[in-house]
Amino acid sequence: MEKYVINGGVKLRGEVVISGAKNAAVAILPATILANGPCIIENIPNISDVSVIIKILSEMGADIRVINKNTLEIDTTHITLPEVPYEKARQMRASSYFLGALLGRFRESKVALPGGCDFGVRPIDQHIKCFKALGAECDLQFGMIQLKAKELNGTHLYFDVVTVGGTINAMLASVLANGQTIIENAAKEPHIVDLANFLNSMGADIMGAGTDVIKIRGVKTLHGTSYSIIPDQIEAGTYMVAAAASQGDVLIKNIIPKHLESITSKLEKIGVTVIEYDDSIRVIGNRPLLKANIKTMPHPGFPTDMQPQISVLLCLCEGTSIVTEGIWDNRFKYVDELRRLGADISVDGRVAIIEGIKKFTSAPVKATDLRAGAALVIAALAAEGETVIEDIYHIERGYEDIVLKLRRLGADIKKIVTPDSVLEQVL
Ligand code: EPZ
């Protein structure tokens, strides 16, 4: 068992360097399947979700050479079976990207229904709608989705909801299709643009990524490339909120300030000082902080993946704040854990009402998903006393070296690993 032990009350100070974006990496790595030659990918975050993708590629027969901790050379030329091993696929949401990438290259794919963080129902009907529109037949049997197409032909597609995963799969499945595909009501997140830039660097013809309408002209082949993944907007936002909650003064480096605008503007509204530079941002936590209302929206709105973290900060603001979750049905599960630390939050469906408190107090808590776990870490850093956080594997799915990075900022955080054999003797 692994847990974090955090002694709160330290004001975070110093510099932190942001890693590559998880949600770009988990799309770009499967996209290497479409390349006719090796790809060198830099700035890959060293996190467990990425390790799962790399293991899947390796088990499928890709040649993977480690150049350094964050750079890999991936050659998928020798993959012959368009099928993803069942157990690994169901561990994460992004395994669905193998459906699009394998379909694009082999005109068929077989992947288990994806897993991932549990925020209620997570359908993939829009992905399937897109594959079918391109000409694939879709079958679901024994927990596996199977796609088969005689040929893939460009199509005009309108997504019923703005979907990040659906937009990514649509790009993966159509870059090698015949003719032009138009995706309307496309997602506009920075990782959508990053995937399009990666595919274009392999010879794809994608225009409009980052707007509502993406146009993809199919090409015959894609070649290998060298590419560096963008910095992680959500990791950066998490450290911004941690700096603010701990009343610290932190320079967050290797970021794209434009990607953080919705977070920056909310922090400023609350009373936090944010100073932007070309590729870094300084956050100074002040008191008192003022209440704010936040609704999560698709990009460029306030990101749902920052909702638990900003809610922790709103707990420390004076007055009553209202947080409305605009993307997921059930993303307030962590509130029960936050209440153990003294939060005063009531939840009604997709709305949370947060009453400001003076400070958090410590207690043993459990991470319920990735960003919920990050939120608990922030609360623990700002709390009085020692907080123990269990189920930290959720956090390590998406934050590279979080303990090391926080320790360098002065935080009193330790990771305790108890070998299973010791636990068995005790239990
Ligand atoms: C991506 O999930 C991210 N995951 C999530 O981040 C993030 O919360 C989410 O986008 C929204 O920004 C990855 O990139 C790996 P969606 P995804 O398809 O693609 C509905 C994190 O913390 N929908 O944009 O699964 C769906 O129910 C993770 O890093 C359909 O109805 O999200 C939701 O309400 C957690 N039908 C909305 O659309 C579909 O076919 C947005 O989902 C697909 C989605």
pLDDT at 422: 61
Residue 168 C-alpha to ligand 1 middle, in angstroms?
11
Q: Is the CB of 164 under 6 A from ligand 1?
A: yes
pLDDT at 301: 98
Q: In angstroms, rounded to a whole number, what is the distance separating the alpha carbons of residues 38 and 102?
A: 16
Residue 119 C-alpha to ligand 1 middle, in angstroms?
10
pLDDT at 423: 57
pLDDT at 420: 72
Extended strands (E) in 143-186: 144-148, 156-158, 180-184
What is residue 337's three-state secondary structure? helix
Ligand 1, atom nearest to 191 Cα: 14
Structure tokens at 156: 């005009």
What is residue 254's three-state secondary structure? coil
Q: Is the CB of 52 under 6 A from ligand 1?
A: no
Pocket test for ligand 1, best of 122, 128, 368, 369 (most atoms within 8 A of CB): 122
Residues of the chain with CATH 3.65.10.10: 2-19+232-423, 22-216
DSSP one-letter string for 185-241 = S----HHHHHHHHHHHHTT-EEE-BTBS-EEEE--S-----EEEPPB-HHHHHHHHH
Q: Is the CB of 378 under 6 A from ligand 1?
A: no
On whether the CB atoms of residues 311 and 245 are closer than 8 A, the answer is: no
Report pTM.
0.96
Q: Is the CB of 118 under 6 A from ligand 1?
A: no
Ligand 1, atom nearest to 117 Cα: 35
Q: Is the CB of 92 under 6 A from ligand 1?
A: no
Residue 312 C-alpha to ligand 1 middle, in angstroms?
22
Kindly report the protein residue whose alpha carbon is nearest to atom 26 of ligand 1.
122
pLDDT at 140: 87
Q: In angstroms, rounded to a whole number, what is the distance separating the alpha carbons of residues 377 and 400?
A: 14
Q: Does domain 2-19+232-423 have CATH number 3.90.25.10?
A: no
Residue 169 C-alpha to ligand 1 middle, in angstroms?
12
Pocket test for ligand 1, best of 127, 158, 164, 259 (most atoms within 8 A of CB): 164
The domain defined by 22-216 folds into UDP-n-acetylglucosamine1-carboxyvinyl-transferase; Chain (3.65.10)
Residue 223 C-alpha to ligand 1 middle, in angstroms?
29
Kindly report the protein residue whose alpha carbon is nearest to atom 9 of ligand 1.
164
Provide the residue-wise pLDDT of the chain in tens; the chain has 427 residues: 899 999 999 999 999 999 999 999 999 999 999 999 999 999 999 999 999 999 999 999 999 999 999 999 999 999 989 999 888 887 787 889 999 999 999 999 999 887 766 776 788 999 999 999 999 999 988 888 999 999 999 999 999 999 999 999 999 999 999 999 999 999 999 999 999 999 999 999 999 999 999 999 999 999 999 999 999 999 999 999 999 999 999 999 999 999 999 999 999 999 999 999 999 999 999 899 999 999 999 999 999 999 999 999 999 999 999 999 999 999 999 999 999 999 999 999 999 999 999 999 999 999 999 999 999 999 999 999 999 999 999 999 999 999 999 999 999 999 999 887 665 665 5
Ordered alpha helix ranges (H), 246-386: 261-270, 307-315, 335-340, 370-382
| Residue numbers annotated as active site | 117
Q: Is the CB of 166 under 6 A from ligand 1?
A: yes
pLDDT at 90: 79
Pocket test for ligand 1, best of 163, 302, 395 (most atoms within 8 A of CB): 163
What is residue 407's three-state secondary structure? helix
Ligand 1, atom nearest to 234 Cα: 29
